[in-house]
Chains A and B, each alone.
Chain A
Amino acid sequence: MDIRLTVNGTEHALSVDVRTTLLDALRERLELTGTKKGCDLGQCGACTVLMDGRRVLACFTLAVAAEGAAITTIEGLAGDDEPLHPMQQAFLENDAYQCGYCTPGQIMSAIACVQEGYAETDEQIREYMSGNLCRCAAYPKIVAAIRQARPLLENR
């Protein structure tokens, strides 16, 4: 099936098997491998992207059903010559990862968490980030990074 996907502001035309998930289309067809495949079953959050500004799981989204939406991945947060997005910078400064595999999903989810207004307290951050697992258990530092980035995002 021929579709058009708008990713990070760029429209791409591609032909896909209807079974292709948005996750596989991003990684295998558009070579945007920042979005990670963890469980591929909606349980880990590694594939979190923004669709029209809302965080969703790319592994449970068919590419054919993503037509018409504005999709933002980790690659779309800051250009090559631009400073990092404040949430990326906060993860860096707080050392909010060990292996880093879940980090793109954590960052996309964290940005949405702040924008939704659910980053007011540590308890709220933990609740609203519960869809993003980190098997290195960097959770305390992830919470700290979100707490640090929150005012910067609110003023953006």
Chain B
Amino acid sequence: MRPFDYEPAGGTEAALAASARHAAPDAPPPQYLAGGTNLLDLMKIGVMHPPALINIGALRGAHGGIEADASGLRLGALAHMAEAAEHPAILSDYPAIAQSLQQAANQQLRNMATLAGNVLQRTRCNYFRDPSWDACNKRRPGSGCAAKEGVNRLLAVLGVSEACIASYPGDFANVLAAFGAEVGLASPEGGSRRIPFEDLHRLPGDTPQIETNLRPGELITDFHVPAGPWTGRSLYLKVRDRASFAFAVASAVVALDLAGGTVREARIGLGGLAAKPWRSHEAEAALRGRRLDESTAQEAAEAAFAGAVTHGENDFKPELGRRTLVRALLEAAEMEV
């Protein structure tokens, strides 16, 4: 690990000021340190080398709470994954959120990692994570993409570009995207703003090294998940290479508001398959106002993967993704709520 300046921040203002102070034009940006489970990993393997770490653990008091009310669910950025996975209101009223967190990582990591850190975790693409490979546009802009003709079994088929086929590896963020959540941000320039969660991450396009729309030094303070008649009938179905402690090969978020057997509203997300946390508006539209059965579920799944692009090893993923979504839809329809 390369040397860095270390600064514990006593509060939000101090953290933002420290970030601005440690920012330099020609250096990588300073990083906020919370759980550290992704950041220290990437620093140890030589992928990230921030000049400064600003410890924001002390901000848990201000930005670590979880509250549910009639308007929805407010999740503090610094709440630990385990806390959210075990929260009674989330378990009963937003089961897909609890499941997405419970099925991610392992209990030690869930005790450390925060919700905002989880959302901002970086791809598991081997070419990104191994600096001995020259070609990675995300790690070394303009160097090419070794994954397209390499080991890409776990990489994305939706939202990819010529420059990058890395997959977004997380689970929870796909639920935030599908549920139309909003992100609260605090800025070093003072002030704060709220943006749709779907606008937090960017598609790779020609600039895969720019992964989010966060401005320099901006700090995530909270997520707000709006209440809706679909959140109770929701689930997260994750398909992995082993039973636990593995990233998704394919996963689906499904939330349904059913009237009889007819879909009033559907919220659908996908994980392990896309370049960023993924909401499938196409699949939702294919189901709206229709009876949910195997045939309409299949139509929705076809719609979700209409734009899929594969690269050899991951040719199987659109079909796996479709089957995962169909199964999730049919299981959600059977839920007793």
Contacts and interface: CB of A to CB of B under 8 A. Distances in A.
A126 interface: yes
B109 A19 contact: no
Contacts of A56: 108, 111-112
Contacts of B45: 41
- Per DSSP, chain A at the interface is mixed
Interface in B105-160: 105-109, 111-112
- Per DSSP, chain B at the interface is mixed
B244 A60 contact: no
Interface in A46-72: 48, 54-57, 60-62, 64-65
A131 B37 CA distance: 13
A124 to B, nearest CB: 11
Contact of A40 (B44, B105, B108, B112): B44
A113 B40 CA distance: 25
A84 to B, nearest CB: 23
Interface in B2-24: 3-6, 8
Interface string B289-325: 0000000000000000000000000000000000000
A60 B36 contact: yes
A57 B108 CA distance: 6
Nearest to B57: A65
B180 to A, nearest CB: 30
Contacts of B33: 62, 65
Given A18-B6, A19-B1, A131 B106 contact: yes
Given A57-B112, A65-B55, A19 B4 contact: yes
B54 to A, nearest CB: 11
A61 B36 CA distance: 7
B4 A131 contact: no
Given A60-B41, A65-B57, A116 B112 contact: no
Nearest to B58: A68
A68 B4 CA distance: 22
Contacts of A116: 107
A86 interface: no
A99 interface: no
A44 B303 CA distance: 39
Given A19-B4, A41-B41, A60-B40, A112 B107 contact: yes
A130 B112 contact: no
Interface of A: 1, 17-19, 21, 40-42, 45, 48, 54-57, 60-62, 64-65, 109, 112-113, 116, 118, 126-128, 130-131
19 contacts: A19-B1, A21-B40, A40-B44, A41-B41, A42-B109, A45-B108, A54-B82, A54-B111, A55-B108, A55-B111, A57-B108, A57-B112, A60-B35, A60-B109, A112-B107, A116-B107, A130-B244, A131-B107, A131-B109
